[in-house]
Amino acid sequence: MQKFSVKTIVAIGIGAALFFVLGRFVAIPSPVPNVNICVQYGLLAFMSVVFGPIAGALMGLIGHALIDFSYGWGVWWSWVIASGVFGLLMGFAAKAFKMNKNEMGKKGLVKFNISQIVAHVVCWGVVAPALDILMYNEPLDKLFAQGLMSAVGNAVTTAIVGSLLCIAYAATKTKSGSLTKE
C-alpha cells in the first residue's frame, strides 16, 4: 500500500476543491447537450504531473463527483470515473518530461500536450462512452457526440491552462547543475 505524505494529502484536497470550483463556476457551455468545455482539466493535468497518478485520480474522482452532486441531477459515475482515469494517465505520463528539474522546454511541452490529448481521447472517446453503455444504456450517437466535444474542448483548454501552469512551475525549480561552482 502506498503511503501519502501530508503534502500529497493536502494537494489532493486542494486539487479536488479547485477542480470543483473551476468545473462548477467556470464551465463554458458547448453546442452539444449536457457537455461543457472545462478549464479544470488543465489544472488536473498539472496537479497529476506534480503529485502523481494516484493523487491525480483522486482529485479527478472527488472533484467531478462534487460537481455532479452540486448540480442536483445526481452523480454521473461514468464521467466521474473518466475524470479519475484522466488524472491517473497524466500522472503516469509525467515520467516522459522533467518538469521538476526546470527542463520543461519545447520538448517537454510537446510531450505534455501529446500525453494530455491521448488521455482525453481515451477518457472521453472510450472510457466514458463504454461506461455509459454499460451503466446507463445510453444511445451511441449521443455518446459519441458528447465524447468528441469533450475530448476536443478539454484538450484545447488543457493545452492552454495546463501548459501555462507547467511552464510557471518549472521556472520555480532549480536547474540541475546551476548551483555548481565553475
Report domain extents, the chain. Answer: 6-171
State pLDDT tens for residues 102-151. Answer: 567 888 899 999 999 999 999 999 999 999 999 999 888 889 899 999 99
Please provide the DSSP assignment of 2-57 as one string: PPPPHHHHHHHHHHHHHHHHHHHHS-EE-SSTT-EE-THHHHHHHHHHHH-HHHHH
Q: Which residue did the predictor score with more confidence, 2 or 130?
A: 130
**Domain 6-171 belongs in CATH node 3.90.650.10:** no
Can you give the pLDDT at residue 140?
Answer: 87
